[in-house]
Amino acid sequence: MLAAGAHISKEKDLNAHIEAFVAQIKRRQIQGSYNVALATSQLLLRVVSAARWTHVDQLVTQIKVLGKRLQSAQPRELACGNIIRRVLALIREESEDTNDSESGDGAINSPLITSMFSLLSTNDEYGPNRQSQSLCDGTGRSIKKDLKPYIIEGIQELIDELRSIDESIASMGVEMIHENETILTPTPNSRTVLKFLLRTAQKRKFTVLVVEVFPNDVEKTHEFALKLAEAGIETTVITDAMVYSIMGRVGKVILGTHAVLANGGLLASAGAAMICQCANVHRTPVVVCTGLYKLSPMYPFDIESLIEVGDTGKVLEFEDGSLVDKVNVVNPLYDYVPPESVDLCITNMGGYSPNFMYRLVLDHYRQEDTTL
Amino acid sequence: MALSETTSLPVPADSVASNGFDIVATYRRFLQEDPDMTMPVAAIESLVVLLSQTEPTTASELMDILAKAVAELKKGVKNSISLSAGCDMFQRFVLRNIQEYGDWEACRRHLVKNGGLFLERAKASRYKIAELGLPFIQDDDTILIHSHSRAVTELLLLAARRHIRFSVFVTESRPTEEGLSSAKTLRDHGIPVRVIVDGAVGWAIQKVDKVFVGAEGVAESGGIINRVGTYQIAVLAKDSNKPLYVVAESHKFVRLFPLSPFDLPDESPAASTFTTEQEDDEIQSSPLLDFTSDNLITALITDIGVLTSSGVSEELIKMWYD
Amino acid sequence: MPELSAKVALAPLGTPTTKGQQQRGKDNNNAEAQEAKAQRKAGKAEKAARRAARVSEQGKSNKPPPEAVAPARVQSQAKQGRTVSGAGNASSGGGGSTNSVGNVTAGNAISALTTQGTAIHGTDILDKRVGLFKHLEITRRSGTADAAKDIHPAILALTLQFASYTVIGSSARCRATLRAFQTVIKDYRTPAGTTLSRNLTNHLSRQIDFLKTARPLSITMGNAIRWLKQEISVVSIDISDDQARESLMEKIETYIRDKIEVADRVIVQSAVKQISKGDVILTFSRSAVVEQVFLEANLRGIEFSVVVVDTRPFYEGKEMVRRLSNAGLRCEYVLISGLSYVLNDITSVFLGAHAVLSNGQLYSRVGTALVAMSAKRKNIPVIVCCESIKFSNRVQLDSVTFNELGSPDDLMNISIDSAPKPGPLKNWRDLPNLKLLNILYDLTPPEYIKKIVTEVGSLPPSSVPVIIREYNSA
């Protein structure tokens, strides 16, 4: 009785916690994809710890429902959904591992099974001990072994991964930047890029051109430049318009991103598309620094719907009333950067060509979770 | 679909193969009987029929019989790229199973028993492609398609069924004029179509939002082998920065790595000779296939997902890697 | 010799013009053709003399002031980036008294050099110039107290207007300069012992040197000044000073009318044909002639809309969008960072020019190259509207070798309205590693430009030198 009561109050606690979290992301009190990702994974840790299930499918459903809720609270913050999908994949994997070890069939996990064979193979009994692998068929067996500690451990690892992301990306700086190189960054609101540059500056002497990406986050941008300069890096602030004139002298363009999509395309701050294109025209390599939590299984079918539009008051002051009424002012916050504009994605799992990002998507998410 | 019949197909009287079975004739009959069947699937079905009629005594004998039949088929059929994709996959599948389970007899039984299933699956994979490709089509789109492709048609029909309003430019696609049959199918389903001659693509491209093409074969690089004219459309699309999507089933992935159309099996040698006299069948002997390299392709919409060119390569590597 | 080459050069030009007229058919604009003819005649008559003058003028203007080169060398010998300089700006060279903001005296520079390695105090002696652009001078003055006595008040006023960017845009600056020269000439009295044709040029040169302390001359101003000096040099010694002044003022008036006002009208009549119903036209910053094209199209009742892309720090596009929307045009306004977002529906791009160089490069407000590049990538035609007075026979391949520097402090401001608001960078001068770059122009390669509409017809960028040879040889 006592235990049950404690459980109920715990559940209440948890619900209140979820409510608060939803409200926070709705009001954008948690900002930046990193913070959202971290907070989401911590929330999931609590949810899984508190959850009770007789079958894994129940847990999966529960988390999917939560995921849907979080996503509708802030549809453009992709990091949230990405973490949910990572955890779902983790749960599925744990439960399949358990099934596999019991049925003794390792074939399904044999790494090099091509999907092309799906035309010919069946999951019927022609193989000696081949068993159907769907989650639902694991009735009874999967519950015997308690998955919870494994799942919690997995989420804990995910949180650790998140915490060390900038560090692991930054450690690749020396492979990217050579002595006396000029670097241009069009996303000075990115903490990943900031850490990348600061860390690399300990070993290399280089110059950074900071593009303002006016009008959003301009204070952050200027602070970014200050931090670089204070760390002893030669820093020059330029306006967005000057990029073309100076690109010929730039060694590499290094940018952060809001999200990486399944085709290797990016959702980065406004201006990034034209700056990357400018780099392409000048044959200057474009390098993206991103944590894996920004990788989304979404394909950019409808680019315009992905791009958030910001406060137009940042473009044209409201005091200029006569003008504001007549003119349609636009302030996009993001740009879609097509994968062909990007030369390299540096992730916490190493560097990859954008062409290869689909593989990381398949590695970390399950297709059935793509739509929550 | 009559599944079990495939095993009891009568063997043609004029069989020339070693064991009295004519694989080429079987293959042709399959294609004739079902216009919806693609070449790789017809090849696979023919091999299944062959398996059902032979009684190999060892695994290596089984592989041997298959290899001979495949060679015969490739030799006997003029346009062999697409069917070789099916043959290769079939042989690989049998080999993989024999290696993995040792029980080649079980594998043969499985294939023979499920003969007709593959055809059904191949068709189902086109529906799956259509579902995956659906978000690519939006209201008010103007789409350009080339020649006739079952997968592309399937996708467009699904989009029309889902009440997406779009219009389609269809190329005539000389010399086969297969575009006309695409146009008819689409119009029959209420999709507004404008047929243009192949030379008018450059005129139309400014008004086009996206291009969909099918493929005879998808090469290792992610480039495609398709009806002649695809390459020039792809170049025009690239020049105008319009996306070009390839819609193809994964069983069309083929282990070829052509760099130009001249790396493909030469089907119309006359086309690259020059004469001072006018020839009667000049148009008819013009080449039917060309090669479009991966850098001109935005994405491949396949039954195993929306892939980039390296996705194709990965699947092929996985199939051939031991 | 000059006579001969002039004739040879004339031959190929006649053909394209007549062809163009045929193509345009009956609704061909007569004004345009007459304009062209008139100019051709004038050009032919005085070509030889002008050519001679140009050669000598070129020699002068192309030579970089020696004192601008020397300090750069000093710096590169010293430790890069940290070093002290400003000597280049400080020395009083050809520009007269160039004692502008942020500069140091030569004495200061030397003492700073000797104390190098120890801590550097004070803001003045830190070199805040960006390495790549050290060859360019910042010449923005804040007052006229140091002006020599013979600088005309009209020039003083204009200099301040230039320095504060109150008068901005190359046509506007050219016109204002010529008007000021009219006043200068009106008030000019030839000193005893010399002639007008000899002395007035010197007098004007001093005025021009003073003007240069505000901002470098625009290409249009350079072209106009070359023409004016030529006119002065051929003033007959037989006529009285009064007559000469009268005639020069009259000539300036005609020049302004023909080269700017009539030219603009011809360009507008021609470019407006490029706009049709339903078009969405993108333009960047503000160009006076492009603005007139839009207003004319609007007057003709063509329904179209305009997207104005703008940039820091001048926000010239704001004025553009204000004028267009006041005229009832549908407008959209976006900063250049949002360019990709608005580009999807655009049917064509109209750009103005500061100058078009002989190798077809467009020298215009910084950001123009990005706009043209993005449009080209989307296969959207880029049309440049530009008077032939903006054609320059200089060649340039990148935006670094020659450019104009604005005040870096403009970047410190983070506000978008008229009241400046310094952001986190307000103390940027204290940080030795931090620099702000504010260049005013960039160079758009000819492959991004479909068409240049001028008063002598529409032409591809590759034909710019043809026009320069024929029409702009003054």
C344, C348, C379: best mutation site toward chain B, by most B Cβ within 10 Å? C379
Residue A253 has pLDDT above 80, yes or no: yes
B235, B241, B242: best mutation site toward chain C, by most C Cβ within 10 Å? B241
A205, A211, A239: best mutation site toward chain C, by most C Cβ within 10 Å? A239
Q: Which chain B residue has its CA at the smallest distance from A124's CA?
A: B110
Instruction: Say yes or no for a CB contact (<8 Å) between B96 and A117.
Output: yes
Closest to C383 measured CA to CA, from C314, C253, C293, C310: C293
Pinpoint the alpha helices (H) of A210-354.
218-230, 243-247, 272-281, 303-306, 321-326
What's the CATH code of the domain at B199? 3.40.50.10470
Confidence of residue C62 (pLDDT cuts 50, 70, 90): very low
- Residues B47 and B71 placed together within one structural domain of the fold: yes
Q: What is the distance between the alpha carbons of residues A90 and A111, in angstroms, rounded to a whole number? A: 17
* Residue type at position A298: M
- Residues B107 and B139 placed together within one structural domain of the fold: no
The rounded mean pLDDT for chain B is 85
- Residues B102 and B142 placed together within one structural domain of the fold: no
The rounded mean pLDDT for chain C is 76
Q: Which pLDDT does position C224 carry in this prediction? A: 92
Q: What is the distance between the alpha carbons of residues C33 and C30, in angstroms, rounded to a whole number? A: 5
Q: Which chain C residue has its CA at the smallest distance from A214's CA?
A: C337
* Residue type at position C92: S
Q: What is the distance between the alpha carbons of residues A351 and A364, in angstroms, rounded to a whole number? A: 16
- Residues B104 and B147 placed together within one structural domain of the fold: no
Q: Which chain C residue has its CA at the smallest distance from B236's CA?
A: C379
**What is the rounded average pLDDT of the residues C161-168?**
88
Residue A324 has pLDDT above 90, yes or no: no
A324 near C CB under 8 A: no
Question: Cis omega before residue B40 (within 30°)?
Answer: no
- Residues B301 and B203 placed together within one structural domain of the fold: yes
- Residues B70 and B94 placed together within one structural domain of the fold: yes
For B174-229, what is each residue's pLDDT tens digit?
888 999 999 999 999 999 999 999 999 999 998 999 999 999 999 999 999 999 99
For B244-258, what is each residue's pLDDT tens digit?
999 999 889 988 888
What's the CATH code of the domain at B89? 1.20.120
Closest to C441 measured CA to CA, from C334, C336, C357, C362: C362
Asked, for residue B262, whether it belongs to a domain, the answer is: yes
Asked, for residue B229, whether it belongs to a domain, the answer is: yes
Question: Cis omega before residue A215 (within 30°)?
Answer: yes
Instruction: Say yes or no for a CB contact (<8 Å) between C325 and A327.
Output: yes
List, in order, residues 6 or more apart from B298 with CB less than 8 Å away.
B243, B244, B245
C378 near B CB under 8 A: yes
- Percent of chain C clearing pLDDT 70 (strictly above): 71
Instruction: Say yes or no for a CB contact (<8 Å) between B240 and C377.
Output: no
DSSP C191-236: PTTS-HHHHHHHHHHHHHHHHHTTSPPPHHHHHHHHHHHHHHHT--
Residue C267 has pLDDT above 90, yes or no: yes
Q: How far away is chain A from the Cα of B147, in angstroms, using its nearest Cα?
A: 25
Instruction: Say yes or no for a CB contact (<8 Å) between B315 and A114.
Output: yes
Asked, for residue B142, whether it belongs to a domain, the answer is: yes
Instruction: Say yes or no for a CB contact (<8 Å) between A299 and B109.
Output: no
**What is the rounded average pLDDT of the residues A4-24?**
76
For A90-145, what is each residue's pLDDT tens digit?
888 888 776 655 444 433 334 345 667 777 775 443 333 333 333 444 444 444 46
Identify all chain B residues contacting A304, using CB atoms and an 8 Å cutoff: none
Q: What is the distance between the alpha carbons of residues A305 and C231, in angstroms, rounded to a whole number? A: 62
Residue B36 belongs to what domain range? 4-113
Query: C15 versus C216: which is more confidently predicted?
Result: C216
- Residues B106 and B136 placed together within one structural domain of the fold: no
User: What's the topology of domain C269-471?
Assistant: Rossmann fold (3.40.50)
Highest average pLDDT, of A145-149, A332-336, C53-57, comes from A332-336
List, in order, residues 6 or more apart from C256 with CB less than 8 Å away.
C175, C178, C179
What is the location of CATH 1.20.120.420 in chain A? 2-106+144-165
Q: What is the distance between the alpha carbons of residues B55 and B105, in angstroms, rounded to a whole number? A: 10
CB A177 within 8 A of CB A186: no
Instruction: Say yes or no for a CB contact (<8 Å) between C377 and B241.
Output: yes
Alpha carbon separation from C74 to A62, C131, C394 (Å, rounded)? 71, 13, 28
- Residues B296 and B222 placed together within one structural domain of the fold: yes
Alpha carbon separation from B291 to B232, B264, C200 (Å, rounded)? 10, 8, 73
Residue C14 has pLDDT above 60, yes or no: no
User: What's the topology of domain A2-106+144-165?
Assistant: Four Helix Bundle (Hemerythrin (Met), subunit A) (1.20.120)
Pinpoint the alpha helices (H) of chain B.
23-33, 39-53, 59-76, 81-101, 104-113, 115-133, 150-161, 178-188, 201-204, 230-239, 309-320
Q: Which pLDDT does position A114 carry in this prediction? A: 62
B96 near A CB under 8 A: yes
* DSSP conformation class of C257: I
Q: Which pLDDT does position C312 carry in this prediction? A: 87
Q: What is the distance between the alpha carbons of residues C359 and C380, in angstroms, rounded to a whole number? A: 22
Neighbours of A, requiring at least 3 CB pairs below 8 Å, are B, C
Residue C142 has pLDDT above 50, yes or no: yes
Identify all chain A residues contacting B253, using CB atoms and an 8 Å cutoff: 116
A228 near C CB under 8 A: yes
Q: Which pLDDT does position A103 carry in this prediction? A: 45
Residue C204 has pLDDT above 60, yes or no: yes
CB C346 within 8 A of CB C374: no
Q: How many CB atoms lie within 10 A of CB B16?
A: 13
For B278-295, what is each residue's pLDDT tens digit?
887 788 788 888 999 999
Provide the token pair at A157.
Answer: 């690892």
Burial of B58 from C-beta contacts in 10 A (0-12 / 13-18 / 19+): exposed
A171-369 classified as CATH 3.40.50.10470: yes
C426 near B CB under 8 A: no
Q: What is the distance between the alpha carbons of residues C333 and A313, in angstroms, rounded to a whole number? A: 12
Asked, for residue B121, whether it belongs to a domain, the answer is: no
Provide the token pair at C20.
Answer: 């163009």
Q: Which pLDDT does position C139 carry in this prediction? A: 64
Q: Which pLDDT does position B10 carry in this prediction? A: 44
Domain range summary for chain C, segments of one domain joined by +: 269-471
Helix (H) or strand (E) holding C310: strand C305-310
Give the strand pairing for B166-171 and B210-213. Answer: unpaired
Q: Which chain B residue has its CA at the smallest distance from A112's CA?
A: B318
Q: Domains in chain B: how many in total?
A: 2
Identify all chain B residues contacting A359, using CB atoms and an 8 Å cutoff: 310-311, 314
Helix A56-73 to helix A33-50 angle, to the nearest 10 degrees? 150
Query: C113 versus B25: which is more confidently predicted?
Result: B25
Q: Which pLDDT does position A145 carry in this prediction? A: 61
What is the location of CATH 3.40.50.10470 in chain A? 171-369
**What is the rounded average pLDDT of the residues B15-39?**
78
For B154-170, what is each residue's pLDDT tens digit?
999 999 999 999 999 99
Closest to A249 measured CA to CA, from C78, C438, C401: C401
Q: Which pLDDT does position A347 carry in this prediction? A: 92
Identify all chain A residues contacting B110, using CB atoms and an 8 Å cutoff: 122, 124, 126
Beta bridge partners of A238: A211
Question: Which residue, B113, B142, B170, sits at the end of a domain?
Answer: B113
Alpha carbon separation from B67 to A48, B41, B50 (Å, rounded)? 54, 17, 12
* DSSP conformation class of A285: -
Residue B39 has pLDDT above 70, yes or no: yes
Q: Return the C-alpha torsion angle A217, A223, A228, A229, nearest 10.
A: 130
Asked, for residue B122, whether it belongs to a domain, the answer is: no
Helix B39-53 to helix B115-133 angle, to the nearest 10 degrees? 160
Q: What is the distance between the alpha carbons of residues A48 and A69, in angstroms, rounded to a whole number? A: 16
Query: A252 versus B260: which is more confidently predicted?
Result: A252
Alpha carbon separation from C65 to A15, A52, A346, C73, C96 (Å, rounded)? 75, 82, 47, 14, 12
Asked, for residue B250, whether it belongs to a domain, the answer is: yes
For C120-133, what is each residue's pLDDT tens digit?
333 444 577 787 88
Question: Which residue, B80, B113, B146, sits at the end of a domain?
Answer: B113
For B61-84, what is each residue's pLDDT tens digit?
888 888 999 999 888 887 788 888
SS3 letters across B171-207? ECCCCCCHHHHHHHHHHHCCCCEEEECHHHHHHHHHH
